[in-house]
Structure 1
Amino acid sequence: MTKVLTAAEMRAIDALTIAAGLPDLVLMENATHRVVEVLERHFAPLQQQRIVIFAGKGNNGGDGLAIARLLFSRFAPRALDVVLAAEPHPQINLLRVDALLGTGLTGPAREPYATLIGEINSGFPLAQVVAVDLPSGMNADTGLAAGAVVRADFSVTFTAPKRAHLLGHGLGHVTVAPIGTPPSLMDEITLCQNEPIAWRHLLAPRPAEGHKGTFGHVLTIGGAAGKTGAIGMTGLAALRMGAGLVTVATSGATLPTPELMTVPLDAAWPVAGKHSVALGPGLGLDPRVPEFVRNCPLPMVVDADGLNSLASAMPAAFAGPRVFTPHPGEMARLLGRPVADRIADAQSLASATGAIVVLKGHRTIIASPDGRTAINPTGSPAMATAGSGDILTGLLAALLATAPPWESTLAAVYLHGLAGELAAAELTERCVIATDLLRFLPEAIRRCA
């Protein structure tokens, strides 16, 4: 999977590249050519363009000056101006290249950069903006801005994406361009982008001799009085993801999906003959949860009220693999404080508990106790609807019944988000409900298999 870097990691890798014999001027020249290739691909013929390049004082500004030189020598655009950090510029250009600040900013953009950022943005929506490495004003590690920030239509970064390229807004279409850095220099980086290459083998065609027992029996536990819909959606999602059998421990004697078997919620939760467990949707606070989570030998997804029941009684160890899937509120209860840094907090909880942690939200974070961490690139605001998390829990439980926990978690989160994107594209972001995700799951699987 694609490695994702902090600004400090990128600086260290650049230094190692230069020490290995690739001069910094060669790196800059390679970066210059990659940016011009993007400009040519999207804005040809460049000879007819009116282009202004906003160049700062550091390496990013040096890239900007080199881009201007290459554009002039190869294309002789209709107009080509370079604006240095302290210069005003008339608002006549329709293609603007942001080479002001790059990835080194840690606080708000100061003057004169804040004014120039405003000037770059003033052309919206007529002017097109291409950011070199990162939109000026954005923190490379968080994707946030403490002050003025460029709104880009395209961003061209080098070697590997920075965290902001996945976490931030206003980057437009992101291109990651190689400039000669040896990939081996990133071998020790543990943060990646979640990509199907890591888990598409889980979606291979089924064996012809397979039967329902081959594909796992999932036990889902939840659905206290008035909340049976939550666990019903979890069970349905597990079936749709391919589980051979699903039993639901719930307060409802029947569920609207006839393929689901039921057992009473207030009886002992029957793990014999099962292959994975989904615990929590619609459960309510239940004193049995901490002991069950500690002692059950099966792979288990713990969500919703399952997590809330653990907040004050987290077991020190587990008898089987565990995946926690908190939203930010549940995460805060598990941590005992508000979420501050989503990546660091997910890694911390995974390390402390021994569970894989799925911190849901825009760009869901997936953290393993062994340090591996992934940022998920799929998803849509359409998924901010009741039951969306219950669907994810079911998808994940189905995969856990037959596959390793890390790959199962990556696959479930990615497919869940992609199904949400597909649903939003057809139904609009406003009109999607949770069970619509299952309607679009088959196409999401086809695109990834």
Structure 2
Amino acid sequence: MHNELLSPVEMAEADRLAIAEGPLDGYGLMKRAGEAVAAVVLARYPTATRVHVLCGPGNNGGDGFVVARLLQESGVDVALWVSGEPRADSDAALASTECRLARQPLSAFAAEPGSLVVDALYGAGLSKPLSGDAARAVRIVTALGLPVVAIDLPSGVSGESGAILGSAFRAATTVTFARKKPGHLLLPGREQCGEIVLADIGIGDGVIAHIAPRTFENGPAHWLPAFPVPAVDAHKYKRGHTGVFSGGPSATGAAHLSALAAARSGAGAVTVLSPANAMQVNAAHLTSIMLRKTDAVADLAAFLTDRRPSSFVLGPGFGVGERARDFAVALLGARQGQGAGVEGLVLDADGITSFRDESETLFQAAGGAGAPALVMTPHEGEFGRLFPDFADDEALSKLAKARAAAARAHAIVVYKGADTVIAAPDGRAAINGNGAPWLATAGSGDVLAGIIAGLLAQGMPAFEAACAGVWIHAEAGSRFGPGLIAEDLPLAMVPVLRELMESTAE
């Protein structure tokens, strides 16, 4: 699986490098692209009474000219609509010359029920709102409910951000080349793409490796080599120990969810760290999860010395305030190699909000030499409390916001949502594509925090652990389907984990 994502700029560089490397020139790549799209149209829409091909003035339009020619040669009734002329001596101009179909101006575009539209207007490189004749074409196609096959990306969708620029086609199928773009996965663009077909047009893996993309589609191919598999001689403490901070007596449920998820994800031991006034409530609900009184930083220090935990979850149901800040800073000061052995802290919910007015305290602690990894899992509101300048910047995509936040915070940032973005301080980022609406339920985020902490406890690197946790969480929710509540998720993870374990053995 090719899980790298290319920005429009990186895709243009991939084209340039592939042409320089040969054997295909630019027009050769364009013909390959058109052949791939034409094959999809013929295979998926054999009963279309007519195919309308809409061509823009750039390379996307050049692909469209190839498609129109091939479909006409295959006996399809093709209508060709053109917006502007390709630049002289360009590959698109060559494609236009070879396509001898009669063409009509896009300004006169009209279609009929039962027909199909091939969108070859702008693709991923569009940087300004769709307007004029193109916007009118979108309105006509939408009103008629015609199926659309988009080349590269539906025109009107930003390949960089997934934003809708003015208006956009809603494709039934999108055919893209070499690698997907961020706009294929980021909302709202993802909903405009329909089924995405990734076509090989001759841009080799070596070209992609030379570009060295830093953005990925999240999935097992990206992190499975680092996924923890218990050794034959493993005992519970070899599999890591996770501590989960509990709230007061009326707010223990979130910690229970995180703790159970950490255990299900493979942590050999899990301890709920409870304030004294919640000990009895927690004890009444915990079985395989251990319990320890933890009211102050001194109690935490004793736990670090006595039990040598590997990871922590702080925030779910904990309460907002100084106590949360004190615990977080203390953990980030538990330097690895000084006997504590703390691999990482997952900061969620109240833990994040506790730093809304003191974010620099958190960021400085996370950036200290030898500090445990910090993983933050904010939803949109929590992200805005900690990074208000990034959150309010409409020029930044969700991907760019997460990257900027990770760099500032010296942390892995899991910017949650239907298109969750996981970003690392070093610039790596992954966009998750297997989310499901069933996960929009109270407590779901507490489970995610526990999964990530459980993987951290087993020694999985922080970025990979966060990516794996997000994917496993979403996959479990997707498979469970309607009726899902947070309590279902830890058990729903089991078949997903089993399949991952089996994959590591192949």
Under a length normalisation based on structure 1, what TM-score does the superposition of the two structures give? Answer: 0.92
- Describe the superposition over 1:364-400 as per-residue Cα deviations: whole angstroms up to 9, x where unpaired: 1111122211111221122111111110111011110
- Residue 52 of structure 2 aligns to a residue whose secondary structure is strand
- Residue 54 of structure 1 aligns to a residue whose secondary structure is strand
Q: Within 5 Å, which residues of 2 pair with 1:108-187?
A: 108-124=129-145, 127-167=146-186, 168=189, 169-187=191-209
- Residue 477 of structure 2 aligns to a residue whose secondary structure is helix
Answering whether residue 404 of structure 2 is matched by residue 348 of structure 1, we say: yes
- Residue 123 of structure 2 aligns to a residue whose secondary structure is coil
**Which residue identity lines up with residue 285 of structure 2 in the other structure?**
P
In structure 2, the partner of 1:371 is: 427
Aligned residue among 339, 342, 351 for 1:306: 351
In structure 1, the partner of 2:39 is: 37
- Residue 389 of structure 2 aligns to a residue whose secondary structure is coil
**Which residue identity lines up with residue 81 of structure 1 in the other structure?**
A
**Which residue identity lines up with residue 223 of structure 1 in the other structure?**
G
Q: 1:315 to 1:110 in 2, by over 3 A?
A: closer
Q: 1:359 to 1:90 in 2, by over 3 A?
A: closer
- Residue 238 of structure 1, CA deviation: 0.8
Answering whether residue 279 of structure 2 is matched by residue 271 of structure 1, we say: no
Would the aligned equivalents of 1:232 and 1:255 in 2 still touch at CA under 8 Å? no
Q: Within 5 Å, which residues of 2 pair with 1:20-35?
A: 20-21=21-22, 22-35=24-37
- Residue 32 of structure 2 aligns to a residue whose secondary structure is helix
Q: 1:202 to 1:59 in 2, by over 3 A?
A: closer
Runs of 4+ in 1 over 4 A off after TM superposition: 202-205
- Describe the superposition over 1:157-201 as per-residue Cα deviations: whole angstroms up to 9, x where unpaired: 111111110112221011111211233333322111112023224
- Residue 72 of structure 1, CA deviation: 1.8
Quote the Cα distance in structure 1 between the aligned partners of 2:331 and 2:465. Answer: 19
Would the aligned equivalents of 1:379 and 1:418 in 2 still touch at CA under 8 Å? yes
Q: Greater helix share, 1 or 2?
A: 2
Would the aligned equivalents of 2:390 and 2:401 in 1 still touch at CA under 8 Å? no
Quote the Cα distance in structure 2 between the aligned partners of 1:351 and 1:362. Answer: 23
Quote the Cα distance in structure 1 between the aligned partners of 2:178 and 2:226. Answer: 29
- Describe the superposition over 1:40-96 as per-residue Cα deviations: whole angstroms up to 9, x where unpaired: 33234x6x65322222232222211210111122x212x322233222223134322
- Residue 107 of structure 1 aligns to a residue whose secondary structure is coil
Bigger shift: residues 85-94 or 186-195 = 85-94
- Describe the superposition over 1:133-175 as per-residue Cα deviations: whole angstroms up to 9, x where unpaired: 1111111111111322101111001111111101122210111
Identity %: 35
Bigger shift: residues 8-17 or 323-332 = 8-17
In structure 1, the partner of 2:121 is: 100
- Residue 447 of structure 1, CA deviation: 4.2
- Residue 304 of structure 2 aligns to a residue whose secondary structure is coil
**Which residue identity lines up with residue 148 of structure 1 in the other structure?**
S
Would the aligned equivalents of 1:190 and 1:372 in 2 still touch at CA under 8 Å? yes
Answering whether residue 249 of structure 2 is matched by residue 230 of structure 1, we say: no
Answering whether residue 290 of structure 2 is matched by residue 261 of structure 1, we say: yes
Bigger shift: residues 159-168 or 16-25 = 16-25
RMSD across aligned positions (CA): 2.0
In structure 2, the partner of 1:388 is: 444
In structure 2, the partner of 1:294 is: 332
Structure 1: gaps of 5 or more residues = none
Quote the Cα distance in structure 2 between the aligned partners of 1:57 and 1:86. Answer: 14
**Which residue identity lines up with residue 129 of structure 1 in the other structure?**
V
**Matched residue pairs, number?**
438
Structure 2: gaps of 5 or more residues = 83-105, 336-341
- Describe the superposition over 1:397-444 as per-residue Cα deviations: whole angstroms up to 9, x where unpaired: 1110112222212211111111121122xxx2xx32112222321222
- Residue 6 of structure 1, CA deviation: 1.6
Under a length normalisation based on structure 2, what TM-score does the superposition of the two structures give? Answer: 0.82
- Residue 288 of structure 1, CA deviation: 1.5
**Which residue identity lines up with residue 375 of structure 2 in the other structure?**
V
Quote the Cα distance in structure 2 between the aligned partners of 1:266 and 1:226. Answer: 16
In structure 1, the partner of 2:263 is: 239
Would the aligned equivalents of 1:131 and 1:156 in 2 still touch at CA under 8 Å? yes
Quote the Cα distance in structure 2 between the aligned partners of 1:422 and 1:49. Answer: 38
- Residue 249 of structure 1 aligns to a residue whose secondary structure is strand
In structure 1, the partner of 2:12 is: 11
Quote the Cα distance in structure 2 between the aligned partners of 1:113 and 1:4. Answer: 27
Quote the Cα distance in structure 2 between the aligned partners of 1:370 and 1:53. Answer: 43
Would the aligned equivalents of 1:51 and 1:93 in 2 still touch at CA under 8 Å? no
Quote the Cα distance in structure 2 between the aligned partners of 1:17 and 1:162. Answer: 18
Would the aligned equivalents of 1:94 and 1:123 in 2 still touch at CA under 8 Å? no
Would the aligned equivalents of 2:174 and 2:194 in 1 still touch at CA under 8 Å? yes
Quote the Cα distance in structure 1 between the aligned partners of 2:466 and 2:225. Answer: 14
Answering whether residue 492 of structure 2 is matched by residue 440 of structure 1, we say: yes
**Which residue identity lines up with residue 137 of structure 1 in the other structure?**
G
Q: 1:255 to 1:387 in 2, by over 3 A?
A: farther
Q: 1:36 to 1:20 in 2, by over 3 A?
A: same
**Which residue identity lines up with residue 26 of structure 1 in the other structure?**
G
Quote the Cα distance in structure 2 between the aligned partners of 1:25 and 1:277. Answer: 55
- Residue 237 of structure 1, CA deviation: 0.6
Q: Within 5 Å, which residues of 2 pair with 1:312-351?
A: 312=358, 313-316=361-364, 317-318=367-368, 319-337=371-389, 339=391, 340=393, 341=396, 342-351=398-407
- Residue 35 of structure 1, CA deviation: 0.8
Q: 1:446 to 1:96 in 2, by over 3 A?
A: farther
